[in-house]
Structure 1
Amino acid sequence: MDYSAQFRREATGELTLKPSPEAVALAAAYRKNPTPGRSWPAARVKEEAIARVAAAGGDSSCHQLVLSESALQFGQYRGKTFKWLLSNDVGYAAMVLAVHQREREDGDTTQSFIMGNKDALLRYAGLFPVMMAAISERRVREGHGTPAQEDQVLVGFGNFAAMSFKDLYEATDRDRKGFVKWVKRQSSRPGTKMELFQKYIRRRDAEMLPGSAPPVAASSSAPEEEPSDEALLAVVSHMDVSGGNYVGLNLPFNLRILCYCTFICPTGLLYVI
């Protein structure tokens, strides 16, 4: 017994977002008769999942298996297992979990049966990087993605369709670097994967630009600025001619020397300047 979802894929290697025929039929039936069912607490959901694993001959102590057989407690696929959902309607799962992630990040700590069930579904989705990439892309397209989530989005076109934005952008070999340069020069249609990747490239390019150098602090050992003629004359006017002392002034050393020379030799002022 395997806990992995049976993901359906496009020719590019990306996950198929459209619902399977079985999922389409269930969703249509739900829309015709949207009778809300009862949501059960996490303990009961887990208990029933363990029973399903045991009945199928699986290891009921395996956390991943139990998660895979846990039943949805909300929405149009209520009662179906997490594994069934990721195998039949990745688009719906990505939409639900993108919203749920954002709610939790925004500080929603609600512990209702439904929110707890979505927490468990997110843990199950987290077992599969390709599923997390689909959730990340959903959030990026909605304008709520973080830089880390942008990194995870798959390119989805060209020879490197199965690579993430981050891995392709940071590649150092000639072919991949050339592909990134080629993408930057193209005109893309709004909403396409190419446009999304171009936005990512522009953001990363901007981050790579060197910032302005911080201002260099003045060194304490830098030479003192040469005093002006006016400063020297002002100092001389405050000297005590009887002994070459300064009257109540706290002067820099270079001014003290120059003023002392001026007092000893009245013609020294012209010489020093």
Structure 2
Amino acid sequence: MSLKFTSIVKSYYQGLSKTEKKVADYLIEHLAIASSMSIQEVADASGTSIATISRFSKKIGFQSYQDLRMHLNLYAQQVDDFFLSMDKDDRPLNIASNSFSTGINSLSATKSVLNDTDLEKAADALKNAKTCGLFGLGGSSVVTLNAYHRFMRTSLLCLFAQDYHMQLMNAGRLTSKDCALIVSHTGRNKDILRLVDILNQHEVPIVAITSNAASPLATKSDIVLISLSEETKYRPEAVSSLVSQITLVDSLFMIYALKVDRDKEMLLRVREVIDDTRETK
């Protein structure tokens, strides 16, 4: 079973129709065989139709079934070591190695679904914003705190608060001349969606980072960046996705700092201030 393919399908699964889910289930279960099957053969084997498979392929981000099949061949050749077994008798190094493998696989899967178009749109939203509001709850607030820490090195003015009521107030202050960066693993958290509704009422452009491409958050956002991960026995999927979400934030920061920021000296000024806090020999 391939981490990348199953993660991609899982991120879109909730938005698939009943027959499209039959295609998804069949391909995941018969990945190696399906990678060499024609669209008609997959339709017959899954009990669906050619039209359904064509719609399914496009819905999960591929241009056609042929494009999907080409990627299936690549995925089928990969060794999936995501579900390495762990127990209390393992050596600490083995447990640590498993954690590293989990993060590496999540990064690799997330990188595979990145594209220039979404990144450029996200950069444009930041470029055109007077202020960027950063929103995330629970574990996702760690990602938005990281975003705040990163973008303080640029000329982009950001709003950040960990308290939910303060996030509500921040959302109410933003306008169409600003933007919002929202992080939510499921994209279905009711409190996050309340923030989204407020932002949409004020026509605030929204950049979302989520693992669920079919979630209400993704549907209501202008730009969506997908973070992919898998759940293991001891490590919830939401925790596994953090490393990819933080890396997506770092990517946005680098794109903004290198290609967008009009005040190139800001990074140096902030660095000088921080350097003054360190002892010198």
Q: Which TM-score applies when normalising by structure 2?
A: 0.26
Structure number with larger C-alpha Rg: 1
| Structure ranking higher in strand proportion | 2
Query: TM-score, normalized by length of structure 1?
Result: 0.27
